[in-house]
Structure 1
């Protein structure tokens, strides 16, 4: 069996394993009796709230879609023509280890090009968020966030591609297998380290002062069987008026994080409902399952990449000699972008089901559907979430159930008279 065919077979096996985990591990039915309340497309929001959310969506969605398509088009131009290869080759690099410098500097150069091309659309999106009161960032902080996020993404991507090209130079026949194993390991390590290393790059966190709310949230985590080390408050108001809370970390690093905007604007029972939802993800090991899916998907994707990069015709079009050539970087980045886009609807389908299960867990844990419904309406009103978005948009980009669906779920839960 040739190396390219072995890569294809391995990709099929790994992606089949991914599909099996999705089919078996996804909670397709979260209530014993899924029937019940009809879905109100307004989710009980006022006409003014619905109109405002729809107006915001109408202003922001075209820019978001245009940014996605423009970024993909630029990536295709650089990856499927010799233009990207020439850019990588033209970068000034030291004589020693020239290929490695070409990979590192090439990724950064391509990342900057991609960001600059879509920057006007990003700025427009920020203008819209300011106009609707969602963003509180000054333009200095916005630019700082753009630079930091671009630098972090580029650095992680550069190191990953440096490893890939190095493996291709060292083991030309089985580089894809070694890289696939490395991708799986990176997903696992990143899942554990991301909350500790990356979250502080954008926000500051302080322990929530002693209060009845803090005690209630710690007690809720104990009741959930997933005790946390601390309850932190994030300074999210520096950037946004949106409301959110989450649980991050594992074991000794697990903590509840609450936006300061939540503390300012929501009553304690609604905050407890949000946190109960997030604790539901911990109770059902959603992060670990997601990590397993990421490892299988990442390994399968790299194996598939090994098969694709075995095409001499494609390599000639991109101006690269092979996966061991630094000029292959633009092509790899384009293929990764396409793979990510193709995988997005599948990821969001699974995510919506997992989020629905966490909603039911929150209802079971608190036994308070009224607080849950009020919380969902508060989040939708503050975050300007369209309670009933277009089906195609929701299918492609919706990682959570709609507000209308979540309110109907709580009403169905209440009618079923489930016990907490």
Structure 2
């Protein structure tokens, strides 16, 4: 056990050392010479203080991203090798003979373990955002959100874990296929539920107060044949100084949502460009294409998880205190494999997302015919979020579901008839 734990710590340390060197001392973030002095060059729209802060903040947040994702896998490995996962299974089995109750108890202890160990890292991330004035959230509000996260995640995981292990025990060889079939209605149901049940737990949503702006947005929606009756704003200024807007939900629960920070900091023309961008996603069915893509990847992912579970338990079962994937104690291993495969596939899914975002940008510029407002919008987004205009390659591949600001501003400039 000591040998495996030592190896896990060493691998994690070397990985962290590599990412630190890459982000803080490698990975070029300077704007290429060809774009220096252009609208995409932060030197043209940020002051010296903003330039320094955006570089420092982005590097710290990127580093935290890369070291926190495998940190959760490390927790799962420790739980397995130390025998803690097997102990939690014993606790759950002693409470009831029913699988649902056992799943709920085991999931509670595992969720509590992961939350307790990762909370200090989450706290550090929050304090960094607060120090750089990205977050405006009070400590009590932040803890409240963490508590909501815990119970929402726990509530969903109870049913997911129960269904997964019922399927594994009932259909040992084909459980992954049946799980995938069940994930289709579950995914659609959660997307339908998200805007009206889950999102309001964190923030207050209400119809857009600026009726004149709402009329302009709904007029755009009408041009795009989007059946929208209301635009919602959300009081994000209590928690952040960053800007955002999005379309959420499906069917009758779909909503156009604007953060109040966006309303406070951008002009009507810039907001209309953002809204046209979001409408572009709707018109080009990106939500449904995204769902289809997610389901296709998840089918392959569940198949690989099943194969890897069998191989790992056969080869390292004694070390991990596992004899079968039917054991609840194998849940940390299953979650770790899902996490690793999700992370490994993120460059592909991010590339598809960046393509869709570019298409939505081009749709918005055609609809609004205001490239000046579009470019100004992205400049303001960069300043408000202290984001790098030209991040390192690995950061772009694994973190960016949108084109970089350098790319977005550049192709908008090129789309301007005046250029």
Give the TM-score band, short-chain normalised. Answer: 0.7 to 0.9
- My pick for the range that moved more, 103-112 or 218-227, is 103-112
Deviation at 1:242, TM superposition (A): 0.9
Deviation at 1:65, TM superposition (A): 2.6
2:321 aligns to what? 319
2:22 aligns to what? none
2:116 aligns to what? 116
Q: Spell out, residue by residue over 1:79-99, the C-alpha distance to the aligned partner (whole angstroms, 9 max, x if none).
A: 4663322233234742331x4
Deviation at 1:116, TM superposition (A): 1.8
1:367 aligns to what? 369
2:20 aligns to what? none
Q: Spell out, residue by residue over 1:261-306, the C-alpha distance to the aligned partner (whole angstroms, 9 max, x if none).
A: 1111111001111111111110111110011111122222222222
Structural mapping, 1:30-45, within 5 Å: 38=35, 40=38, 42-43=41-42, 44-45=44-45
Q: How many angstroms apart in 1 are the aligned matches of 2:406 and 2:279?
A: 22
**Is 1:177 matched up with 2:173?**
no
Tell me if the contact between 2:86 and 2:321 (Cα under 8 Å) persists in the aligned partners.
yes
Structural mapping, 1:35-74, within 5 Å: 38=35, 40=38, 42-43=41-42, 44-48=44-48, 49-74=50-75
Deviation at 1:316, TM superposition (A): 4.2
Deviation at 1:339, TM superposition (A): 1.5
SS at match of 1:198: helix
Compared with structure 1, are the counterparts of its residues 277 and 131 closer, same or farther at alpha carbon in structure 2 (3 Å cutoff)?
same
Deviation at 1:151, TM superposition (A): 2.1
**Is 1:330 matched up with 2:366?**
no
> What residue ranges of structure 2 are gaps of 5+ in the alignment?
1-33
Structural mapping, 1:283-294, within 5 Å: 283-294=283-294
Q: How many angstroms apart in 2 are the aligned matches of 1:115 and 1:333?
A: 15
Compared with structure 1, are the counterparts of its residues 247 and 269 closer, same or farther at alpha carbon in structure 2 (3 Å cutoff)?
same
Structural mapping, 1:326-365, within 5 Å: 326-365=328-367
SS at match of 2:401: coil
- Coordinate RMSD, CA, aligned: 2.1
Q: How many angstroms apart in 2 are the aligned matches of 1:355 and 1:75?
A: 35
Structural mapping, 1:93-172, within 5 Å: 93-97=94-98, 99-172=99-172
Q: How many angstroms apart in 2 are the aligned matches of 1:112 and 1:303?
A: 28
2:281 aligns to what? 281
Deviation at 1:249, TM superposition (A): 2.5
* Count of aligned positions: 380
Q: How many angstroms apart in 2 are the aligned matches of 1:320 and 1:357?
A: 48
Q: How many angstroms apart in 1 are the aligned matches of 2:337 and 2:371?
A: 45
Tell me if the contact between 1:85 and 1:318 (Cα under 8 Å) persists in the aligned partners.
no
Compared with structure 1, are the counterparts of its residues 193 and 59 closer, same or farther at alpha carbon in structure 2 (3 Å cutoff)?
same
